[in-house]
Structure 1
Amino acid sequence: MPPLLPTATLLFLLTLGAFLPRAASKSTIEPCSNSDTCSSLVGYTLYTDLKVSEVASLFSVDPISLLLTNAIDISYPDVENHILPSQLFLKIPIPCSCVDGIRKSNSVSYKTRPSDTLSSISSAVYGGLVSADQIKEANSKAELSDPSVIAVGTQLNIPLPCTCFNNTDNNLPAVYMSYVVKDVDTLAGIAARYVTTVSDLMNVNALGSAEIKDGDILAIPLSACASNFPTYAKDYGLVVPNGSYAITASHCVQCSCGPGSRNLYCMPASLAVSCSSMQCRSSNLMLGNITTQQTSAGCNVTSCNYSGFVNGSIASTLSTSLQPRCPGTQQFPQLIAPPTVLPDSVFSPAPAPSESGGIPTTNPKSSVVPSSGAVLGFPPAGGPTGSPSGSSGAGFLTDHSISFPIMLVLGLFVKFVLSFSL
């Protein structure tokens, strides 16, 4: 029996192994073959104090849409210039497109600032949602030969990860959020926080086990309310996550997805902007109005519903139905005051505003929109149920590369030690 390796040798090997490059973080991808876009989200933690307008600019989104997605009250004066605290977690609405055969957001633009590098833009500014290599690849025409020296004012396209899966999860409406895993996260903890299951997360993300690591990017399905607007409507395919709001029709209509609901409810957002008529034809009902009449056969319900933004006009539909019982009062997601400080206990994953331990809430109140103003692996079996076959499988991009020089040195050292021991 050959003698055991000296303790010093074992310690050296362990130390050397600690410095070997690890496999790159995994990211959920969704193959696609059409040019449509869908509603999606990215989970983002502020790296410093930022104005609402600054966060919106980072992701090329409307500040009002950003606030309403997080159920933040927009009726506060000059809310777009409100300063949000560092480490605040936000859900950012971004459009998800089909680019080069996979789903990604191709609408985010970033103008470089002094001391920016591809690495700092990737890890600090965008919180690990995109890698330095992905930014470089998406900007082949920019002068990025030296990623550590970038000219100030360079306009970069930021390809953020996103998924659509037909905006369904198990045949129910859903919006998918791209979430960067933190070192304290577990799959069970993420599932509990976002009201889903470990098995659903594993299926969506093509996970062979429940093991996740810091930097992985998961697609998390969030329960939602879906619209049924015609394809020619500008806001066709509008989907609103449960517990939040969306602004549409040029800031004229505000739609919400109430607590535990799957029914999208839309109403006039403000009278402070110039909007087309919101009255249903052949009726005195305005958009969002509902009348009920109890009869021996049931409850006659008449409602004026929003039907999309068509050719610059607000389309509405008058509908009448007989229901077993009259509907109760419309339930709205609870609005919160624009946050100025973080909760006393900050943990990961950062809770959504309406969840326990999140941003302090205020009593619900009406919101008025100011006039100023989204190695290739194998797909999971079928992907999320309800996704179209052939274009909705998820996979992983994984880099298992290890530096060749380090491996060579390690091999020679082991060979030397073994020969010496024998």
Structure 2
Amino acid sequence: MGYAKVLLGVLLVSALAATSTAQQPARFKCSKENATCTALIDYTSPNKTTLSAIQKLFQVKKFRNLLGANNFSSSTSDKQVVNATQTIRIPFTCVCSNGIGLSNRSPVYTVVKDDGLSHIAVDVFSGLVTYQQIADVNGIPDVNKIDVGQKLWIPLPCSCDDVDAITVVHYGLLVKSGSSVEGIAESYGTTSATLLSLNQMVNASDLKAGQVLDVPLKACTSNISSTSLDYPLLVAKDTYFYTAKNCIKCTCGSANNYTSLDCEPSGLKPLSNWTTCPAMQCEGAGNQYMIGNVTSSSNCNQTTCAYTGYDNSTIFASLITESTCPASASPTNGIQGLRWNFIFISIQLIFVCLHLSH
């Protein structure tokens, strides 16, 4: 019996050592001390599950924002089946401290019978963290000793830093077998050099399957006031987000060429202490416009009633005029071209008239 216990202990230590070799800790640089932001990370369940179970595991407060992070239809049920190895993006709050970013004291996992730190890290949370990281942030001196019912903070990697002077949403991409740095960069609208720098990699060949890679996603710009309760509101490309206590839905999609955030009334019942959503209108030119309404459009300029934030009692909106022209197109150039065409045609007509008079 004593020999069996010794052998079991040796095997356990060997297994943990093998795991630490294969599973490298992901540490995302985050220089904005104490800053918070919304981040995304991949999750692949080892077994068939449901969106509801995933929401519970990661303690995503609003189910609709889990849908938005994956660009699922807003009518998708929380009972929607998620197959084994299917990837789901998890939205969570990131906080920067001591040069790195971690999920803000969430999710918290409750230890069940027969759990081990390695199992929790590798299987339950699909390798997003290492067993040693869990031990470190929870002050566990012996990685082989955890108790049933013990609460463990799972420190997901993240960042709130700008990238190349641009505000982005940092996405923890779980690298799949056969992926390349160049291919990932092309898929997500960034460069190989940026990915290598962000992830402190010397060569593209250092990329490993199962690695959590920091990928910067473009975010639509918004008109959110710095005093708003949802500031800064960052919505990544091809995602949507509910804000203002569920009263407003904001989308960053191809309809607006991934530039300005497109917000509109959600049509949902509000959360918290609001019984109904406050007024969501702009006032201008003697008329009232609902958030999301285009009030005027001429040449390359468009005026829209834009969502600008909320507080405990009010939703704010302002008339915002923005250019809708492609960068290469200029309305002035177009007008000048028409003018030159008019002058040219006029000269031609003058010559024709002179010829006929003779």
Q: Same fold (TM over 0.5)?
A: yes
User: Would you say the 8 A contact 1:40–1:96 is kept in 2?
Assistant: yes
Which of 211, 233, 237 in structure 1 is aligned with 2:232? 237
Aligned match of 2:4:
none
Aligned match of 2:289:
285
Aligned match of 2:311:
310
Aligned match of 1:69:
69
Alignment deviations for residues 281-313 of structure 1 (CA, whole Å, 9 cap, x no partner): 35321011112255xxx4664321101122342
Looking at structure 1, the residues matched to 288 and 23 of structure 2 have their Cα atoms a distance apart, in angstroms, of: 60
Aligned match of 1:153:
149
Aligned match of 1:39:
38
Looking at structure 2, the residues matched to 33 and 318 of structure 1 have their Cα atoms a distance apart, in angstroms, of: 32
Task: Tell whether 2:252 aligns with 1:257.
Answer: yes
Give the AA of the match of 1:284. Answer: Q
Where does the alignment leave 5 or more consecutive residues of structure 2 unmatched?
1-17, 271-275, 327-358
Looking at structure 1, the residues matched to 146 and 242 of structure 2 have their Cα atoms a distance apart, in angstroms, of: 36
Shift of the alpha carbon at 1:172?
Answer: 3.5
Aligned match of 1:99:
97
Equivalences, count: 297
Moved over 6 A (4+): 321-325
Cα gap change, 1:324 to 1:67, in 2 (>3 Å): closer
Cα gap change, 1:21 to 1:307, in 2 (>3 Å): closer
User: Would you say the 8 A contact 1:292–1:299 is kept in 2?
Assistant: no
Shift of the alpha carbon at 1:320?
Answer: 4.8
RMSD over equivalenced CA pairs, Å: 2.6
Aligned match of 1:366:
none
Give the AA of the match of 1:43. Answer: D
User: Would you say the 8 A contact 1:226–1:237 is kept in 2?
Assistant: no
Residues 83-122 of structure 1: matches in 2 within 5 Å?
83-108=81-106, 109-122=108-121
Aligned match of 1:375:
none
Looking at structure 1, the residues matched to 234 and 66 of structure 2 have their Cα atoms a distance apart, in angstroms, of: 14
Alignment deviations for residues 122-172 of structure 1 (CA, whole Å, 9 cap, x no partner): 0011111111111111112xxx56545543332211111012223xx3333
Cα gap change, 1:26 to 1:214, in 2 (>3 Å): farther
Shift of the alpha carbon at 1:21?
Answer: 8.0
Looking at structure 2, the residues matched to 263 and 300 of structure 1 have their Cα atoms a distance apart, in angstroms, of: 13
Aligned match of 1:129:
128
Give the AA of the match of 2:283. Answer: R
Shift of the alpha carbon at 1:186?
Answer: 2.1
SS at match of 1:190: helix
Which of 158, 165, 168 in structure 1 is aligned with 2:161? 165
Task: Tell whether 2:235 aligns with 1:209.
Answer: no
Aligned match of 1:414:
none
Residues 302-341 of structure 1: matches in 2 within 5 Å?
302-320=303-321
Shift of the alpha carbon at 1:42?
Answer: 0.8
Cα gap change, 1:310 to 1:181, in 2 (>3 Å): same
User: Would you say the 8 A contact 1:103–1:163 is kept in 2?
Assistant: yes
SS at match of 2:307: strand
Alignment deviations for residues 39-76 of structure 1 (CA, whole Å, 9 cap, x no partner): 21112212222221221122221211011111101224
User: Would you say the 8 A contact 1:287–1:305 is kept in 2?
Assistant: yes
Cα gap change, 1:123 to 1:21, in 2 (>3 Å): closer
User: Would you say the 8 A contact 2:304–2:320 is kept in 1?
Assistant: yes
Shift of the alpha carbon at 1:270?
Answer: 1.2
Which of 170, 173, 179 in structure 2 is aligned with 1:176? 170
Give the AA of the match of 2:235. Answer: V
User: Would you say the 8 A contact 1:228–1:236 is kept in 2?
Assistant: no
Looking at structure 1, the residues matched to 209 and 50 of structure 2 have their Cα atoms a distance apart, in angstroms, of: 28
Give the AA of the match of 1:206. Answer: Q
Looking at structure 2, the residues matched to 203 and 100 of structure 1 have their Cα atoms a distance apart, in angstroms, of: 19
Bigger shift: residues 152-161 or 276-285: 276-285
Percent identity, aligned pairs only, is 33
Q: Which has the higher helix share?
A: 2
Looking at structure 2, the residues matched to 64 and 321 of structure 1 have their Cα atoms a distance apart, in angstroms, of: 29
TM-score with structure 2 setting the length = 0.75
Cα gap change, 1:49 to 1:313, in 2 (>3 Å): farther
Cα gap change, 1:310 to 1:23, in 2 (>3 Å): same
Cα gap change, 1:105 to 1:20, in 2 (>3 Å): closer
User: Would you say the 8 A contact 1:173–1:262 is kept in 2?
Assistant: no
The higher radius of gyration belongs to: 2
TM-score with structure 1 setting the length = 0.64
User: Would you say the 8 A contact 1:174–1:221 is kept in 2?
Assistant: yes
Give the AA of the match of 2:312. Answer: N
Cα gap change, 1:272 to 1:98, in 2 (>3 Å): closer
Task: Tell whether 2:185 aligns with 1:191.
Answer: yes
Cα gap change, 1:272 to 1:310, in 2 (>3 Å): closer
Looking at structure 1, the residues matched to 100 and 121 of structure 2 have their Cα atoms a distance apart, in angstroms, of: 20
SS at match of 2:132: helix
